[in-house]
Amino acid sequence: MRVEQLQAFLAIAETGSFQQAARKCGVTQSTISRQIQSLETDVGLSLFHRSNQAKLTLGGERFLPRARKICQEWENATQELAELLAGKQPELCVAAIPSICAYNLPPVLQKFCQDYPAVQLRVTSLGSDRALKVLKDGLVDVAIVMNNRFLTASPEMIVDVLYNEPIEVLMAANHPLTQYERVPWSEITRYPQVVFKVGYGMQRLIQDQFQRLGATMNAVLELNTLDAFRGMVRQGDAIALLPKTAVFDAHYDPSLAVRSTGEPTLKRQVVLVTSCDRILIPPIQHFRNLVHKLIGIQTEPLAVASPTTTIPTSLPRSIAI
């Protein structure tokens, strides 16, 4: 059974004529006849009395409301898809790692809301592994994360490299390691570490580095917010290995200090991930282009140095971070 057959059936039922139905459907009368014959074969009943006027049989009368419902659903579905391709989707959902949400993403969000005011923009701060999972589950449209080739190696995924950035050491301003301009790894491994929770790519990156050095990481606390990292390292000897973006405003905090690591320099790669089908949708494609324009070419965070970066209150859409 095809939609064209149902549309032909409805046209005949409404006009009472095969000839008028053919004109309404824009096909020949013989085509309409073949479609109805095929439909009647499929359902196993005659749907019309063939006389001067095409009248519904008992089977046709029973079938009529069902055919209308099916055709209406088909029309609704095709209309929704057409609107989706035209960029009229109701919302766009983004998952991003905390440092991206705090520093790089606000200008992208503001510009997107200006360009697509009718699209509800929803942003969630998640660890890389969790963000990629919700992307694969269809709960978000775009993920901006630390690259994990084991989770992004899929033919339906599109992975755009945005930038690479070094990992630096965050510590209290009076910490013994402040004596170094570039802290040797042999010194870094001696101190307790404040790390991201399981599911964050940074924890895995740091653990792998300690293993390569033949050292045991003393992780005294697991956190998932940048404010919490800053608060904890102020308290004593614990240090945190964080991306350069994440420690940007610590340079302006007299209670904190930031140092580069010695060789080898550890880096993380930040990527935008979406799927092949989503990238065809205009708002998602536009968001991707904005990220490339405003984040991908940057070597420093876009936000001004301040303890907390917030989304401008003038944004017209609901944004949850």
CB 125 within 8 A of CB 98: yes
pLDDT tens sequence across 145-176: 999 888 887 888 999 999 999 999 999 999 99
For residue 23, CA distances in Å to 19, 28, 29, 126, 172 come to 7, 7, 8, 57, 82
Q: Dig out the tokens for 299 from the structure.
A: 């070597």
Planar angle of CA 272, 316, 81, nearest 5 degrees: 60
What is the pLDDT at residue 280? Answer: 86
318 by DSSP, 3-state: which? coil
Quote the CA–CA distance of 30 and 46 in Å, as a whole number: 17
d(CA 107, CA 304): 11
State the average pLDDT for the chain: 85
Other beta carbons less than 10 A from residue 282's beta carbon: 15
Contact between 150 and 104 under an 8 Å Cβ cutoff? The reply is no
Highest mean pLDDT among 87-91, 162-166, 294-298: 162-166
| Average pLDDT over every residue of 37-64 | 87
Q: Are 121 and 92 in contact (CB under 8 A)?
A: yes
Q: How many CA atoms lie within 13 A of 199 on its CB side?
A: 14
Task: Report yes or no: 39 and 9 within 8 Å, Cβ to Cβ.
Answer: yes
Cis status of the peptide bond prior to 264, with omega within 30 of 0: yes
Task: Give the mean pLDDT of 220-245.
Answer: 91
- Residue 300, pLDDT score: 39
Interval 224-230 mean pLDDT: 89
Position 256 confidence tier, pLDDT thresholds 50, 70, 90: very high
Nearest Cα neighbor of 90 from 284, 312, 291, 289 is 284
The burial class, CB within 10 Å (0-12 / 13-18 / 19+), for 299 is: exposed
Bridge partners (DSSP) listed for residue 55: 49
Which DSSP letter does residue 235 get? T
Determine the average pLDDT of the residues in 33-46: 88
**pTM of the entire predicted model:** 0.69
pLDDT class of 225 with cuts at 50, 70, 90: confident
Contact 268, 164 (CB under 8 A): yes
| Cα gap 48→229, rounded to integer Å | 76
Task: Provide the token pair at 86.
Answer: 């035209």
pLDDT at 301: 38
Which of 41, 148, 109 shows the shortest CA–CA distance to 283? 109
Residue 155: C-alpha distances to residues 12, 152, 282 (Å): 47, 9, 21
